[in-house]
Every structure is written in structure tokens, then in C-alpha cells.
Structure 1
């Protein structure tokens, strides 16, 4: 280890073919972990003087990263974290990029090395920020526990660094035209059309669409109360308070709900069901693979992912001259900034600039 050959005795046992094989397997496991940079001496030989002589092993970045991963696992078990979020963090922690810090203690990670590491990431700003979340948690905890004198992230102009180095996202907002929407709806089977029609006229997030229940529909006021979101099969409240809202329903959305009554009203709480099983939708991927992809193929409309339905709803409202603040409320955004940033080219000019002040001189 660290370029030195170490010898350790196993607990006393009969020397036979089986014990020799166990020793060989253990040796290979230790060699592999040393090669990976994840070997902790005390985990395998807690009574060894070498383990006791290396208390800094507990401060190794790979040890702290593993502990952070275990924290996330407990949060998933306690329903404090979505499984989808956990998978993203686990990928970041166990990925090749994070091995840059293996072999270093938490005190040895310098701001300059961190700055260089971030600047070399060839990915979007969102991916960079998600990758940094577990690492930032480790340094925050280490600072609180007085294991380090300062948080290296505090000595980095992180926002500026990400803006300068991040790769532009290749995701393009490409709303469906009126002709394309008609082609998609015409390609729907009768048991598919209500949901697709409703989606085009409400712009719900996929998880909000899946979680919608009949009790959320106020027929008299013509609104749908959005207060649930489904993420990888787990029903919970939206991420932000703005996500909980009353969504106004136009005539097309109401007609879609009316048509859906015969399909799902007597089958349980959920409005929208998987037509192939008549069971509630479980995931975004299920909607995409079993409904959306075959439907797009039948319609002969150039393929775009299902989230473009939401973009179509927003852009259609804005092109028709709707107030951006109203659109933000309908979409469940916390403020109008995202609407301007995401859909700016669809916003009418008189909403783009402050209105001229009218002065009356008497």
C-alpha cells in the first residue's frame, strides 16, 4: 500500500485448500480496492498497528464520499429523497470523474485543484451543479465538524466558473405546430385521445398528469387542482409552493375529461390510466415508451420527447398574447423569470419592455 508491501496474519484456522482459497480471494479484493483508491486499512485489519497508525484514513475523500452515499440511501429509505435523485447522486459519487479525489484527505483538497477540476468538466451547467452537490455536502459537514479550517468552495467564484466553462445544452424547445397537434390527435386510439388532448391544453408536467385524481377536478369552476406529482412511482407534493395551483381548463380540456369518465371514473382515484393495462401510470418512461413513441410513429410527425407538449402549451398561450405572469402561474413556476428565459421569443413585444410612463402636464 502506498508503494509498500504489507503483510497481515489472518485469524487462526486450519491450513487447508479452503482456507488458502479464502485468503487468495481476500488478497485479490484488497488489491482491487487499493487499485481503485477505495481501500481502508482498518476495515480489513482493525487490530493491525498499521490501521491504528493511520487515523487519517477516516478523512480520506473516498471514505467520506461513501458515507455521503450511505446518507442518501437512508434518506431514500425514510422517504426524504426521491429514488431518481439518489440515482443521480450515486452516479456522481461512484463515477470516474470523482476518482480525482481518491487518496487525498479532505484537508488536502485545495481550492485551486477544485477550480481546475470543475473547469475541465465537459458537460452542461445542470450536470456540473448536480455532480457538485455530494462534494459540497462533504465539505460543509467537514467544516462544521472542524475537520477543515475552511470550505474550499467558499474560495471559488463558482457561478462565474460554471458559466464560463459549461457546455451549452443541446436540448431545443421545439413546440408542435397546430397541424402537428392535429395529426397526433388523429393518430390516437379512442382510449388514448382524452389524455393526449388534455395534456396539450394544460401543459402539465408528466408527473402531475400521472398523479391527477378525479377529486382534483372542479367541474363548476372548470379548474383542476394540482397538488400532487409522481416521480418514479412515488406520489408526493410538488417541489415548490408555486407547483400547488388551480389550473384553468378550457373547453378542449373539459371535453377530454368528459370523454375519460367512461374509461376511468369507476376504476379508482386516478384520472389517467395506461390504456394497455387500465392501471395508473407508474413512471415517465412508461408513458414515453408505451404511449408516446408508438403514437408519434403512427402520426408521422417528426419525433420530439413528451415534454415538448408542455412547451407547446406555454408557447401557444404566449403567441396568442396571454400575459406571461398568467402563463407562469398556469405552469406552476415560482416567478415569471423562467417564462421569459425559456419562452422569450414567443412573448409579445408589448410585454418585453416596460410600458412608457404617461405624463399629464396641466
Structure 2
């Protein structure tokens, strides 16, 4: 796997200047209040047009109405205007020459609401948040066959079949936020997702089981996280240490798929002199007395991991001269065992939040490695040997969802 450390993103702190007010020009669309409801007024081909949006006049709905107005104006100028207005009206009907009164409100689909909600959130969120968070949930919604609000329970049940339970719960939380916004804006009259996320509970066998809560990072998310840690992009200026201290540790997790408890227990005596092989045979576990070393691994006594060129290069960069065989490969900043709860709180959370990437535990680096290994053609049985799982677990939780079935010619 290669790591792209190039950084792309808009300059921070820049905002477009407010345009000067000028006389109406071609394609100008006005947002007006008509009997307490917002309405778009414009002229097209010599005819005065009125588009009732059905929204109460609030600050939030004004922003939404202006986005609709901007779209109409751009379409008129570019010659792509939709004369049926189906493209522009979320919950109203058109009247030509005179506004229509007492139009029955059309209930928008969940997809229509969601896209409006995404546009409402866009000015408030970073590009990373829009891509990684809202882009992910848009993808989920596109996979669901129905978008009727009255079928909210069916949407939930379908999502439970398509994505992991914990991911589904987060998805429903977002849909609830979307419908709560739409309800407050007067677009809908009730929120069918209210309280639904609290009813989603993983089976007891899955609760707090990091091996079955699978929500891997994408390659782009992985590379962005590593770059941010390496460059101390979100490190508090008053911090006693730099995030970059943990760069090797996080990159190692992504490159090997080992459990964090195995990585922080690794000593240089477990790494061959030529850096080609790592032997995992112990782990650091949390007890009432604190972190303690335990011989053996979660599912086996030990396993050997063959290092590719990237892992060898990383180990060569971080290995001290005349390294003590008993020394930890990834110690804490002050020496001793790396404190994983402190790392999550002070480094990991701040980096993901700063990047706008939905929070996931560092354990998801393991799921990321397994997922990408399968997607790049490694056999499930070989992946199982690399990460210390059984082939059955790999097939059940990863390969079964990733492989496309086909019938060979024989």
C-alpha cells in the first residue's frame, strides 16, 4: 500500500466578498414573504413567475430559499432553465402571472430533504466534513430503495441489512437531524426518525466488541490522518509534546493491521535484525491496577508478520542506534508504556475532529488494513494469518461483503 502525503484543500479563513447591490439583471430571482411564507419571484420569457416554497420565513429557510433562487438564476443564464419547475420546488406548485393561494403542501422525499439539508450545512462545515461525513451518508441513502418519509421504519430496517449496526445507528442519527431541521423550517409536519436511533442496540455479543464494529477508513482518510499527525496540523500550541511523536505508531497500525495493544507491547527483540519479520507474542492490557503486560495474544500464542518495503523503511527510521532489545518500539512520550486512552483523547480525537472525519477508534486502523488487503487481491486465508484472525471471521465480517459473486465458465 502506498501513502499519498500530498495535501489538497482550500485556503483557510477566506470568504467571498459581499456583492454590491445593483439593479435587477437577467435571471434575477427575488425571495419574498407572501402571507408569512417564502416565495420566489422572477421573470422568464416575458412572464412573471411565482414559486411558492411553502417555508415559514425564518433565517434558516431564507438561506435555503436563496440557494433555490441562485440555482434558478444560473439555469436561466446558462439556458438550462426547467420550465416545469420540478427541479426547483420542494413542496409547492407554480402559478403564472398571479400567486396561487392555499396550495396543498407536497411532502418531499427523504432524499430531497437530505440534499437540501446538506446544502444548508455546507457553509457551516469544512470541505473534509462534507466529503467524509455527509458524502458517506449520502452514499448510504442512495443504496436504500425507498425514500418515502412514511416508510421510515423500512428505511431503518434496510440500512441495518446494508451497513454495520453501529454505522447504521450513526446514519439514523443524521437522518433524524435532517428531519428535525426540516420540521423546524416548516418543510414537513412530523419527524418520523425522532427517537429511532436509541432503539437500535447491537446484540450483547457485539457490544464493545472492537473486532465486529467494522467502520474502516478510506485510503484518502488514512493518508490525510497520517499527514495531519506528521505535520502537527491540529496540535495545541501549549501542548508539552507534538502529535508527530506518534506518527510512527499510527502509521505502523495502518501498515500492519495489528491490534493497538500488540503494537504498544512490541519490543525491539521482536523485530528481526534485517527488519524483515516481526513476531507478535504479547499485549498490553488494562486492569484495575493499570496497564500490564500479558504474554500471548488475543486468539493465539504468537504470529509472525512479514514486513514489506514500507514497513521496513518505517522501522529503520524509528529504530535508535544500538537499540536495547528490551526497549519498546512505540513508547509513551515520557517513556514507559504508551497510554492509549490519553493518546485517543489528546491526539486522535483532535486530529479527526480537525479533519472533519467521523470519529472512529484507533482500532479501526486494523479493519482498514484488512479491508484494503482484501480489496487488493489478498486471499482471505492469508489475511487471517497476517492479522491473527480465523478465516471464518474474515469471510463473515469482511470478504462476504466485499466480493462480487460470478459464475466462471467451465
Higher strand content, 1 or 2: 2
TM-score relative to the length of structure 1:
0.47
TM-score relative to the length of structure 2:
0.42
